[in-house]
Amino acid sequence: MTDRYAVIGNPIQQSKSPLIHGMFAEATGQDIAYSKIEGPLGGFAGAVDVFRAAGGRGMNITAPFKLDAFAYATERSERAQLAGAVNAMKFEGARIMAENFDGVGLVRDVVHNLGCALAGKRVLILGAGGATRGALLPFLAEKPALLCIANRTLDKAHALAAAVAPHGAVQAGGYAELEGQSFDVVFNATSASLYAELPPVPASAFSQAVLAYELAYGKGLTPFLRLAQNAGVQQLADGVGMLAEQAAEAFEWWRGVRPDTRGVIEKLTVPLV
């Protein structure tokens, strides 16, 4: 019997999740059907109720419903609790289990696919929104020498740093405080690149960087990546690998088998030019 899964968001037309999970299912011999659901704004719970009642087994969640999914769940992982947001759910009877695989997918892409170890590195992440919240515990599990969060709103950055301080060395501040500091790996988790804008990070932050990583994907050489390239960073990456790896984490959680992500990454990669 074919098991049903879906991704829910609004808008949802742009989602690559059906393509990705279809490729995973074909490669692993799993009998699933995966669809897109455009959830009505303010009507997340009702849309998920309908999907579950029709036999749905699990869902991916994208904007703007990650906070709604957190509230809807009956059980949340530690990662989901820290992020305050959910990007995958699994349904077993009345149980609604929730996870956040964004951060672990990002770390897997960086460490395994790109070959850039984070252990002992000085790591900078720009932005203090949901993407950063989901990444903090997976980052700290890699034992960086320092994890620095830079954000326009200082209170948000400091609150995040305080929340994960027991797990490792975390520093938080504004962009002006980055002057004179250098980092080994720099991540852009702001929304700036969605609007072809540059976050206010000084070029000096890249002076010793070996990798600049743009969490947005499919945007080519964003202003952030161009700044890093001009500062001499040799390895540039966007979030296509993160997209594939977080999807693989959800697929394994649902189906008990981990798919190879290389085919998906190759298919979705856009040249950084």
Torsion sign over Cα 175, 110, 264, 64: negative
Residue type, 63: A
Coil, strand or helix at 13: coil
Please, which residues have CB within 8 angstroms of residue 116's CB and are 6 or more apart in sequence?
110, 185, 210, 211, 235
- Separation between Cα atoms, residue 222 and residue 230, nearest integer Å: 12
Known catalytic membership, residue 156: no
- Separation between Cα atoms, residue 76 and residue 158, nearest integer Å: 24
Active-site residue identified among 36, 66, 219, 267: 66
Coil, strand or helix at 43: coil
Bridge partners (DSSP) listed for residue 172: 149
Give catalytic residue positions: 66
